[in-house]
Chain A
Amino acid sequence: MSILYIITKYITFPGALLRCFWEQFMCKIGKVPIENNKCLQVNEMCGHIEHEIVDNKVKSFFNAFIPGLIVFIAGITFLISPLINLGYLEISGTALKIVMYVMLYLALSMLTNIFPSIEDAIVMWENYKELKVSLKILFSVGAVTMYVGAYLEKYSVTFFTNAIIAVLIIL
Protein backbone atom coordinates (compact mmCIF):
# COMPACT_ATOMS: atom_id res chain seq x y z
CA MET A 1 0.00 0.00 0.00
CA SER A 2 1.39 3.33 -1.02
CA ILE A 3 0.58 6.21 1.27
CA LEU A 4 0.84 8.47 -1.73
CA TYR A 5 -1.85 6.46 -3.46
CA ILE A 6 -4.16 6.80 -0.49
CA ILE A 7 -3.54 10.53 -0.23
CA THR A 8 -4.19 10.93 -3.93
CA LYS A 9 -7.48 9.10 -3.63
CA TYR A 10 -8.57 11.24 -0.72
CA ILE A 11 -7.58 14.43 -2.51
CA THR A 12 -9.55 13.38 -5.55
CA PHE A 13 -12.44 11.99 -3.55
CA PRO A 14 -15.26 13.16 -5.86
CA GLY A 15 -13.81 11.14 -8.70
CA ALA A 16 -13.01 8.20 -6.45
CA LEU A 17 -16.55 8.08 -5.09
CA LEU A 18 -18.06 8.38 -8.53
CA ARG A 19 -15.85 5.59 -9.81
CA CYS A 20 -16.90 3.42 -6.88
CA PHE A 21 -20.51 4.08 -7.71
CA TRP A 22 -20.08 2.99 -11.30
CA GLU A 23 -17.96 0.01 -10.29
CA GLN A 24 -20.73 -1.11 -8.00
CA PHE A 25 -23.26 -0.38 -10.70
CA MET A 26 -21.37 -2.58 -13.14
CA CYS A 27 -21.05 -5.32 -10.52
CA LYS A 28 -24.80 -5.21 -10.02
CA ILE A 29 -25.47 -5.42 -13.73
CA GLY A 30 -22.96 -8.21 -14.17
CA LYS A 31 -24.16 -10.00 -11.02
CA VAL A 32 -20.76 -9.85 -9.44
CA PRO A 33 -20.88 -10.11 -5.63
CA ILE A 34 -19.54 -7.09 -3.80
CA GLU A 35 -17.63 -7.92 -0.67
CA ASN A 36 -16.90 -4.40 0.49
CA ASN A 37 -18.62 -1.31 -0.84
CA LYS A 38 -16.63 1.11 1.27
CA CYS A 39 -14.87 3.41 -1.14
CA LEU A 40 -12.49 5.59 0.81
CA GLN A 41 -10.47 3.29 3.01
CA VAL A 42 -6.88 3.16 4.05
CA ASN A 43 -5.73 0.24 1.98
CA GLU A 44 -4.85 -0.67 -1.56
CA MET A 45 -8.53 -0.89 -2.49
CA CYS A 46 -9.06 2.78 -1.72
CA GLY A 47 -11.12 4.29 -4.48
CA HIS A 48 -12.37 0.90 -5.63
CA ILE A 49 -15.07 -1.56 -4.76
CA GLU A 50 -13.95 -4.94 -3.47
CA HIS A 51 -15.75 -7.60 -5.44
CA GLU A 52 -15.50 -11.21 -6.46
CA ILE A 53 -13.04 -11.96 -9.20
CA VAL A 54 -14.78 -11.83 -12.56
CA ASP A 55 -13.92 -14.91 -14.58
CA ASN A 56 -15.96 -14.09 -17.62
CA LYS A 57 -13.56 -12.61 -20.15
CA VAL A 58 -15.75 -9.97 -21.73
CA LYS A 59 -17.43 -9.16 -18.45
CA SER A 60 -14.10 -8.59 -16.74
CA PHE A 61 -13.10 -6.23 -19.55
CA PHE A 62 -16.25 -4.17 -19.34
CA ASN A 63 -16.22 -4.26 -15.56
CA ALA A 64 -12.85 -2.58 -15.64
CA PHE A 65 -13.52 -0.41 -18.67
CA ILE A 66 -17.02 1.03 -18.35
CA PRO A 67 -16.69 2.78 -14.95
CA GLY A 68 -13.47 4.35 -16.15
CA LEU A 69 -15.06 5.40 -19.41
CA ILE A 70 -17.99 7.06 -17.67
CA VAL A 71 -15.75 8.86 -15.21
CA PHE A 72 -13.50 9.87 -18.12
CA ILE A 73 -16.45 11.34 -20.03
CA ALA A 74 -17.53 13.22 -16.92
CA GLY A 75 -13.96 14.45 -16.42
CA ILE A 76 -13.65 15.66 -19.99
CA THR A 77 -17.02 17.40 -19.79
CA PHE A 78 -15.93 19.17 -16.64
CA LEU A 79 -12.61 20.05 -18.23
CA ILE A 80 -13.95 21.74 -21.38
CA SER A 81 -15.13 25.02 -19.88
CA PRO A 82 -12.07 25.66 -17.67
CA LEU A 83 -9.82 24.68 -20.53
CA ILE A 84 -11.45 27.22 -22.83
CA ASN A 85 -12.09 29.95 -20.30
CA LEU A 86 -8.90 29.74 -18.27
CA GLY A 87 -6.55 28.29 -20.84
CA TYR A 88 -7.65 30.06 -23.97
CA LEU A 89 -10.04 32.95 -23.40
CA GLU A 90 -8.18 33.99 -20.24
CA ILE A 91 -11.23 35.21 -18.37
CA SER A 92 -10.50 37.72 -15.66
CA GLY A 93 -13.74 37.95 -13.69
CA THR A 94 -13.44 36.61 -10.16
CA ALA A 95 -16.84 34.88 -9.96
CA LEU A 96 -16.40 32.97 -13.17
CA LYS A 97 -12.79 32.18 -12.31
CA ILE A 98 -13.87 30.51 -9.06
CA VAL A 99 -16.45 28.43 -10.92
CA MET A 100 -13.78 27.44 -13.41
CA TYR A 101 -11.33 26.45 -10.68
CA VAL A 102 -14.00 24.24 -9.11
CA MET A 103 -14.74 22.67 -12.46
CA LEU A 104 -11.05 22.16 -13.06
CA TYR A 105 -10.66 20.43 -9.69
CA LEU A 106 -13.62 18.17 -10.43
CA ALA A 107 -12.17 17.36 -13.83
CA LEU A 108 -8.82 16.60 -12.22
CA SER A 109 -10.46 14.36 -9.63
CA MET A 110 -12.39 12.49 -12.32
CA LEU A 111 -9.46 12.02 -14.64
CA THR A 112 -7.33 10.72 -11.78
CA ASN A 113 -9.80 7.91 -11.17
CA ILE A 114 -10.36 6.45 -14.59
CA PHE A 115 -8.26 3.31 -14.26
CA PRO A 116 -9.21 0.06 -12.55
CA SER A 117 -7.56 -1.39 -9.47
CA ILE A 118 -4.42 -3.45 -10.03
CA GLU A 119 -6.39 -6.55 -9.08
CA ASP A 120 -9.06 -5.87 -11.69
CA ALA A 121 -6.49 -4.90 -14.27
CA ILE A 122 -4.57 -8.15 -13.80
CA VAL A 123 -7.72 -10.25 -14.03
CA MET A 124 -8.80 -8.29 -17.09
CA TRP A 125 -5.35 -8.72 -18.64
CA GLU A 126 -5.25 -12.46 -18.01
CA ASN A 127 -8.68 -12.82 -19.55
CA TYR A 128 -7.73 -10.58 -22.43
CA LYS A 129 -4.76 -12.81 -23.26
CA GLU A 130 -7.11 -15.73 -23.69
CA LEU A 131 -9.43 -13.95 -26.11
CA LYS A 132 -9.69 -14.78 -29.80
CA VAL A 133 -7.44 -12.75 -32.07
CA SER A 134 -10.30 -10.71 -33.49
CA LEU A 135 -11.53 -9.76 -30.02
CA LYS A 136 -7.99 -9.12 -28.92
CA ILE A 137 -7.61 -6.56 -31.66
CA LEU A 138 -10.97 -5.03 -30.83
CA PHE A 139 -10.18 -4.63 -27.16
CA SER A 140 -6.46 -4.02 -27.51
CA VAL A 141 -6.42 -0.26 -26.97
CA GLY A 142 -8.75 -0.41 -23.99
CA ALA A 143 -7.01 -3.39 -22.43
CA VAL A 144 -3.51 -1.98 -22.75
CA THR A 145 -4.64 1.45 -21.57
CA MET A 146 -6.34 0.02 -18.52
CA TYR A 147 -3.50 -2.33 -17.67
CA VAL A 148 -0.81 0.32 -17.94
CA GLY A 149 -3.09 2.97 -16.46
CA ALA A 150 -3.78 0.87 -13.38
CA TYR A 151 -0.07 0.83 -12.58
CA LEU A 152 0.29 4.51 -13.35
CA GLU A 153 -2.57 5.23 -11.01
CA LYS A 154 -1.09 3.00 -8.34
CA TYR A 155 1.98 5.20 -8.23
CA SER A 156 -0.10 8.41 -8.53
CA VAL A 157 1.46 9.22 -11.89
CA THR A 158 -1.94 10.09 -13.33
CA PHE A 159 -2.61 12.49 -10.49
CA PHE A 160 0.64 14.36 -10.94
CA THR A 161 0.27 14.45 -14.71
CA ASN A 162 -3.23 15.85 -14.40
CA ALA A 163 -2.12 18.32 -11.74
CA ILE A 164 0.64 19.61 -14.03
CA ILE A 165 -1.84 19.99 -16.89
CA ALA A 166 -4.22 21.84 -14.58
CA VAL A 167 -1.46 24.22 -13.50
CA LEU A 168 -0.54 24.84 -17.14
CA ILE A 169 -4.17 25.61 -17.92
CA ILE A 170 -4.35 28.10 -15.06
CA LEU A 171 -1.08 29.76 -16.01
Chain B
Amino acid sequence: MDQTVDIRELNERIQRESSFIDIISMEMNKVIVGQKHLVESLLVGLLSGGHILLEGVPGLAKTLAINTLATSIDAKYARIQFTPDLLPADLLGTMIYSQKKEEFIVKKGPIFTNFVLADEINRAPAKVQSALLEAMQERQITIGETTYKLQEPFLVMATQNPIEQEGTYPLPEAQVDRFMLKVVIKYPSKDEEKLIIQQNLLKTFPTASKVMRPEDILKARDVVKDVYMDEKIQKYIVDIVFATRDPKAYKLDKYVDMISYGGSPRASISLAQAAKAYAFIKRRGYVIPEDVRAVCMDVMRHRIGLSYEAEANNITSEEIIAEILNTVEVP
Protein backbone atom coordinates (compact mmCIF):
# COMPACT_ATOMS: atom_id res chain seq x y z
CA MET B 1 0.00 0.00 0.00
CA ASP B 2 1.40 3.34 -1.07
CA GLN B 3 1.39 5.41 2.09
CA THR B 4 2.92 8.48 0.47
CA VAL B 5 0.01 9.11 -1.87
CA ASP B 6 -1.00 12.76 -1.98
CA ILE B 7 -4.74 12.75 -1.68
CA ARG B 8 -5.15 16.40 -2.57
CA GLU B 9 -3.23 15.95 -5.80
CA LEU B 10 -5.11 12.71 -6.51
CA ASN B 11 -8.43 14.41 -5.85
CA GLU B 12 -7.63 17.18 -8.26
CA ARG B 13 -6.50 14.66 -10.87
CA ILE B 14 -9.68 12.69 -10.50
CA GLN B 15 -11.79 15.81 -10.67
CA ARG B 16 -10.06 16.54 -13.95
CA GLU B 17 -10.11 13.05 -15.43
CA SER B 18 -13.63 12.18 -14.41
CA SER B 19 -15.28 15.11 -16.12
CA PHE B 20 -16.24 12.82 -19.00
CA ILE B 21 -18.59 10.96 -16.66
CA ASP B 22 -21.05 13.83 -16.72
CA ILE B 23 -20.86 14.02 -20.50
CA ILE B 24 -21.46 10.29 -20.99
CA SER B 25 -24.28 10.34 -18.48
CA MET B 26 -25.84 13.25 -20.31
CA GLU B 27 -25.60 11.47 -23.65
CA MET B 28 -27.11 8.32 -22.22
CA ASN B 29 -29.88 10.23 -20.50
CA LYS B 30 -30.78 11.72 -23.87
CA VAL B 31 -31.72 8.26 -25.06
CA ILE B 32 -32.59 6.34 -21.91
CA VAL B 33 -35.19 7.72 -19.58
CA GLY B 34 -34.72 6.85 -15.92
CA GLN B 35 -32.65 3.70 -15.22
CA LYS B 36 -30.11 5.85 -13.39
CA HIS B 37 -28.86 2.80 -11.56
CA LEU B 38 -28.38 0.89 -14.82
CA VAL B 39 -26.35 3.72 -16.30
CA GLU B 40 -24.22 3.99 -13.14
CA SER B 41 -23.64 0.24 -13.11
CA LEU B 42 -22.59 0.28 -16.77
CA LEU B 43 -20.06 2.98 -15.97
CA VAL B 44 -18.79 1.07 -12.90
CA GLY B 45 -18.30 -2.03 -15.05
CA LEU B 46 -16.69 -0.01 -17.84
CA LEU B 47 -14.24 1.75 -15.50
CA SER B 48 -13.31 -1.27 -13.40
CA GLY B 49 -13.05 -3.68 -16.33
CA GLY B 50 -15.79 -5.92 -15.00
CA HIS B 51 -18.51 -7.63 -16.98
CA ILE B 52 -22.16 -7.17 -16.21
CA LEU B 53 -25.08 -9.54 -16.02
CA LEU B 54 -28.37 -7.76 -16.50
CA GLU B 55 -31.58 -9.26 -15.30
CA GLY B 56 -34.92 -7.80 -16.11
CA VAL B 57 -38.11 -8.45 -17.96
CA PRO B 58 -38.12 -7.68 -21.71
CA GLY B 59 -38.55 -4.08 -22.79
CA LEU B 60 -36.57 -2.32 -20.07
CA ALA B 61 -33.98 -0.81 -22.46
CA LYS B 62 -31.20 -3.24 -21.71
CA THR B 63 -30.09 -3.46 -25.35
CA LEU B 64 -30.65 0.23 -25.93
CA ALA B 65 -28.47 1.09 -22.91
CA ILE B 66 -25.43 -0.79 -24.10
CA ASN B 67 -25.95 0.37 -27.65
CA THR B 68 -26.04 3.97 -26.49
CA LEU B 69 -22.93 3.48 -24.34
CA ALA B 70 -21.06 1.99 -27.29
CA THR B 71 -22.18 4.85 -29.53
CA SER B 72 -21.15 7.56 -27.08
CA ILE B 73 -17.69 6.00 -26.70
CA ASP B 74 -17.17 5.47 -30.41
CA ALA B 75 -16.49 1.82 -29.78
CA LYS B 76 -17.37 -1.31 -31.70
CA TYR B 77 -20.47 -3.06 -30.55
CA ALA B 78 -21.94 -6.49 -31.26
CA ARG B 79 -25.17 -8.03 -30.17
CA ILE B 80 -25.35 -11.80 -30.06
CA GLN B 81 -28.68 -13.45 -29.58
CA PHE B 82 -28.08 -16.67 -27.67
CA THR B 83 -30.17 -19.57 -28.91
CA PRO B 84 -30.18 -23.28 -28.09
CA ASP B 85 -28.51 -24.15 -31.43
CA LEU B 86 -25.68 -21.62 -31.07
CA LEU B 87 -22.17 -23.08 -31.29
CA PRO B 88 -18.94 -21.80 -29.74
CA ALA B 89 -17.59 -21.20 -33.24
CA ASP B 90 -20.54 -18.89 -33.99
CA LEU B 91 -19.34 -16.76 -31.14
CA LEU B 92 -15.56 -17.00 -31.22
CA GLY B 93 -14.91 -17.67 -34.88
CA THR B 94 -13.45 -20.59 -36.71
CA MET B 95 -11.02 -21.64 -39.44
CA ILE B 96 -12.45 -21.99 -42.88
CA TYR B 97 -10.85 -23.34 -45.99
CA SER B 98 -10.12 -20.76 -48.68
CA GLN B 99 -10.16 -22.34 -52.10
CA LYS B 100 -8.57 -19.27 -53.56
CA LYS B 101 -5.60 -19.35 -51.21
CA GLU B 102 -5.74 -23.11 -50.80
CA GLU B 103 -5.31 -22.84 -47.05
CA PHE B 104 -7.30 -22.48 -43.84
CA ILE B 105 -7.97 -18.87 -42.89
CA VAL B 106 -9.33 -17.51 -39.61
CA LYS B 107 -12.84 -16.15 -39.62
CA LYS B 108 -13.18 -14.13 -36.40
CA GLY B 109 -16.48 -14.25 -34.57
CA PRO B 110 -18.61 -11.39 -33.29
CA ILE B 111 -16.86 -11.43 -29.93
CA PHE B 112 -13.94 -9.46 -31.47
CA THR B 113 -15.40 -6.13 -30.50
CA ASN B 114 -15.40 -3.65 -27.59
CA PHE B 115 -18.88 -4.09 -26.26
CA VAL B 116 -20.73 -7.38 -26.49
CA LEU B 117 -24.35 -7.75 -25.64
CA ALA B 118 -24.96 -11.43 -25.01
CA ASP B 119 -28.72 -11.38 -25.18
CA GLU B 120 -30.51 -14.04 -23.17
CA ILE B 121 -27.31 -15.87 -22.28
CA ASN B 122 -29.25 -18.61 -20.53
CA ARG B 123 -30.82 -19.78 -23.80
CA ALA B 124 -27.53 -21.19 -25.13
CA PRO B 125 -26.12 -24.53 -23.96
CA ALA B 126 -23.28 -24.77 -21.47
CA LYS B 127 -20.49 -25.10 -24.03
CA VAL B 128 -21.33 -21.74 -25.62
CA GLN B 129 -21.69 -20.07 -22.22
CA SER B 130 -18.38 -21.57 -21.24
CA ALA B 131 -16.66 -20.27 -24.38
CA LEU B 132 -17.92 -16.76 -23.73
CA LEU B 133 -17.04 -16.80 -20.05
CA GLU B 134 -13.54 -18.05 -20.84
CA ALA B 135 -13.05 -15.19 -23.23
CA MET B 136 -14.33 -12.80 -20.57
CA GLN B 137 -11.83 -14.09 -18.05
CA GLU B 138 -8.75 -14.50 -20.26
CA ARG B 139 -9.52 -11.59 -22.62
CA GLN B 140 -8.02 -13.65 -25.42
CA ILE B 141 -9.26 -16.32 -27.83
CA THR B 142 -7.43 -19.18 -29.42
CA ILE B 143 -8.55 -20.28 -32.87
CA GLY B 144 -6.56 -23.12 -34.32
CA GLU B 145 -3.01 -22.57 -33.14
CA THR B 146 -3.15 -18.81 -32.89
CA THR B 147 -4.15 -16.82 -29.83
CA TYR B 148 -5.81 -13.46 -30.44
CA LYS B 149 -5.98 -10.75 -27.79
CA LEU B 150 -9.34 -9.09 -27.52
CA GLN B 151 -9.29 -5.36 -27.98
CA GLU B 152 -9.65 -3.17 -24.90
CA PRO B 153 -11.95 -1.93 -23.58
CA PHE B 154 -13.75 -5.23 -23.67
CA LEU B 155 -17.01 -5.34 -21.83
CA VAL B 156 -19.58 -8.09 -21.92
CA MET B 157 -23.09 -7.41 -20.87
CA ALA B 158 -25.23 -10.48 -20.70
CA THR B 159 -28.94 -10.42 -20.17
CA GLN B 160 -31.11 -12.96 -18.47
CA ASN B 161 -34.84 -13.10 -18.59
CA PRO B 162 -36.08 -14.11 -15.15
CA ILE B 163 -39.63 -15.02 -16.17
CA GLU B 164 -39.02 -17.74 -18.73
CA GLN B 165 -37.27 -20.79 -17.35
CA GLU B 166 -38.44 -23.43 -19.82
CA GLY B 167 -35.80 -24.43 -22.38
CA THR B 168 -33.08 -22.42 -20.69
CA TYR B 169 -29.67 -23.37 -19.36
CA PRO B 170 -29.13 -21.44 -16.12
CA LEU B 171 -25.55 -20.28 -15.68
CA PRO B 172 -23.58 -22.44 -13.25
CA GLU B 173 -22.51 -20.70 -10.04
CA ALA B 174 -18.82 -20.78 -10.98
CA GLN B 175 -19.57 -18.95 -14.21
CA VAL B 176 -21.94 -16.42 -12.73
CA ASP B 177 -19.10 -15.49 -10.35
CA ARG B 178 -17.11 -14.18 -13.33
CA PHE B 179 -19.56 -11.34 -13.81
CA MET B 180 -18.47 -8.46 -11.63
CA LEU B 181 -21.98 -7.06 -11.33
CA LYS B 182 -25.42 -8.50 -11.57
CA VAL B 183 -27.81 -5.65 -12.08
CA VAL B 184 -31.51 -6.17 -11.62
CA ILE B 185 -33.48 -3.71 -13.70
CA LYS B 186 -36.78 -2.53 -12.37
CA TYR B 187 -39.71 -0.91 -14.13
CA PRO B 188 -39.54 2.86 -14.61
CA SER B 189 -41.71 5.17 -12.50
CA LYS B 190 -44.96 6.66 -13.81
CA ASP B 191 -43.36 9.96 -14.71
CA GLU B 192 -40.45 8.21 -16.41
CA GLU B 193 -42.80 6.02 -18.38
CA LYS B 194 -44.73 9.09 -19.52
CA LEU B 195 -41.47 10.59 -20.77
CA ILE B 196 -40.61 7.34 -22.56
CA ILE B 197 -43.91 7.49 -24.43
CA GLN B 198 -43.37 11.12 -25.38
CA GLN B 199 -39.85 10.37 -26.57
CA ASN B 200 -40.97 7.47 -28.71
CA LEU B 201 -43.77 9.47 -30.30
CA LEU B 202 -41.34 12.04 -31.63
CA LYS B 203 -40.57 11.97 -35.33
CA THR B 204 -36.92 11.24 -34.77
CA PHE B 205 -35.71 9.13 -31.90
CA PRO B 206 -32.82 10.84 -30.08
CA THR B 207 -29.40 9.33 -30.58
CA ALA B 208 -26.24 9.65 -28.52
CA SER B 209 -23.26 11.54 -29.90
CA LYS B 210 -19.74 10.20 -29.86
CA VAL B 211 -18.12 11.99 -26.98
CA MET B 212 -15.22 9.69 -26.09
CA ARG B 213 -12.71 7.34 -27.56
CA PRO B 214 -11.90 3.85 -26.26
CA GLU B 215 -8.39 5.09 -25.33
CA ASP B 216 -9.93 7.60 -22.93
CA ILE B 217 -11.64 4.73 -21.12
CA LEU B 218 -8.34 2.89 -20.77
CA LYS B 219 -6.75 6.06 -19.37
CA ALA B 220 -9.63 6.49 -16.95
CA ARG B 221 -9.20 2.89 -15.82
CA ASP B 222 -5.63 3.67 -14.82
CA VAL B 223 -6.84 6.62 -12.77
CA VAL B 224 -9.49 4.47 -11.10
CA LYS B 225 -6.74 2.13 -9.96
CA ASP B 226 -5.11 5.08 -8.19
CA VAL B 227 -8.21 5.90 -6.16
CA TYR B 228 -7.15 5.63 -2.51
CA MET B 229 -8.75 2.88 -0.47
CA ASP B 230 -7.92 2.98 3.23
CA GLU B 231 -7.23 -0.13 5.24
CA LYS B 232 -10.42 0.50 7.21
CA ILE B 233 -12.44 0.26 3.99
CA GLN B 234 -10.62 -2.92 3.03
CA LYS B 235 -11.50 -4.38 6.43
CA TYR B 236 -15.11 -3.32 5.90
CA ILE B 237 -15.19 -5.15 2.55
CA VAL B 238 -13.64 -8.26 4.10
CA ASP B 239 -16.19 -8.15 6.94
CA ILE B 240 -19.08 -7.98 4.47
CA VAL B 241 -17.77 -10.91 2.41
CA PHE B 242 -16.96 -12.95 5.52
CA ALA B 243 -20.46 -12.31 6.87
CA THR B 244 -21.79 -14.17 3.81
CA ARG B 245 -19.54 -17.13 4.64
CA ASP B 246 -19.95 -17.21 8.41
CA PRO B 247 -23.12 -15.32 9.35
CA LYS B 248 -22.97 -16.60 12.93
CA ALA B 249 -19.75 -14.69 13.59
CA TYR B 250 -21.62 -11.50 12.73
CA LYS B 251 -24.68 -12.21 14.89
CA LEU B 252 -26.70 -13.26 11.86
CA ASP B 253 -27.63 -16.66 13.26
CA LYS B 254 -30.94 -16.72 11.41
CA TYR B 255 -29.10 -16.95 8.07
CA VAL B 256 -26.79 -19.82 9.05
CA ASP B 257 -29.03 -22.42 7.42
CA MET B 258 -30.07 -20.12 4.57
CA ILE B 259 -26.67 -19.72 2.93
CA SER B 260 -25.14 -22.73 1.26
CA TYR B 261 -21.98 -20.85 0.18
CA GLY B 262 -20.77 -17.29 0.57
CA GLY B 263 -18.76 -14.86 -1.50
CA SER B 264 -15.39 -15.95 -2.89
CA PRO B 265 -12.16 -13.92 -2.76
CA ARG B 266 -13.13 -12.83 -6.26
CA ALA B 267 -16.14 -11.20 -4.62
CA SER B 268 -13.84 -9.20 -2.31
CA ILE B 269 -11.71 -8.10 -5.25
CA SER B 270 -14.75 -7.14 -7.31
CA LEU B 271 -16.28 -5.24 -4.39
CA ALA B 272 -13.08 -3.25 -3.92
CA GLN B 273 -12.70 -2.51 -7.65
CA ALA B 274 -16.35 -1.56 -8.04
CA ALA B 275 -16.18 0.71 -4.95
CA LYS B 276 -13.16 2.48 -6.43
CA ALA B 277 -14.94 2.95 -9.75
CA TYR B 278 -18.01 4.27 -7.93
CA ALA B 279 -15.85 6.75 -5.99
CA PHE B 280 -14.41 7.86 -9.34
CA ILE B 281 -17.89 8.34 -10.78
CA LYS B 282 -18.69 10.46 -7.72
CA ARG B 283 -15.48 12.34 -8.56
CA ARG B 284 -13.66 11.50 -5.35
CA GLY B 285 -10.07 10.40 -5.00
CA TYR B 286 -10.77 8.10 -2.07
CA VAL B 287 -13.31 5.43 -1.21
CA ILE B 288 -15.79 5.94 1.60
CA PRO B 289 -18.16 3.33 3.11
CA GLU B 290 -21.02 4.79 1.06
CA ASP B 291 -19.24 3.66 -2.13
CA VAL B 292 -18.96 0.10 -0.83
CA ARG B 293 -22.61 0.04 0.18
CA ALA B 294 -23.69 1.52 -3.17
CA VAL B 295 -22.16 -1.29 -5.22
CA CYS B 296 -22.45 -4.10 -2.66
CA MET B 297 -25.85 -5.36 -3.79
CA ASP B 298 -24.85 -5.64 -7.46
CA VAL B 299 -21.50 -7.26 -6.65
CA MET B 300 -22.75 -9.75 -4.08
CA ARG B 301 -26.27 -10.80 -5.08
CA HIS B 302 -25.16 -13.52 -7.53
CA ARG B 303 -22.33 -14.73 -5.31
CA ILE B 304 -24.41 -16.02 -2.42
CA GLY B 305 -25.76 -19.54 -2.73
CA LEU B 306 -29.14 -19.97 -1.16
CA SER B 307 -30.12 -23.21 0.53
CA TYR B 308 -33.39 -25.03 -0.09
CA GLU B 309 -34.53 -23.74 3.30
CA ALA B 310 -34.05 -20.15 2.14
CA GLU B 311 -35.94 -20.82 -1.06
CA ALA B 312 -38.74 -22.47 0.90
CA ASN B 313 -38.93 -19.39 3.13
CA ASN B 314 -38.79 -17.00 0.14
CA ILE B 315 -35.57 -15.46 1.41
CA THR B 316 -33.60 -13.76 -1.32
CA SER B 317 -29.90 -12.98 -1.51
CA GLU B 318 -30.84 -9.28 -1.62
CA GLU B 319 -32.55 -9.63 1.75
CA ILE B 320 -29.47 -11.30 3.23
CA ILE B 321 -27.13 -8.64 1.83
CA ALA B 322 -29.34 -5.85 3.18
CA GLU B 323 -29.28 -7.46 6.61
CA ILE B 324 -25.50 -7.88 6.44
CA LEU B 325 -25.09 -4.20 5.57
CA ASN B 326 -27.31 -3.28 8.50
CA THR B 327 -25.30 -5.47 10.88
CA VAL B 328 -21.66 -5.11 9.89
CA GLU B 329 -20.12 -2.13 11.66
CA VAL B 330 -19.21 0.74 9.35
CA PRO B 331 -15.63 2.01 9.97
Same assembly:
no
Binding site for A on B (CB under 8 A): none
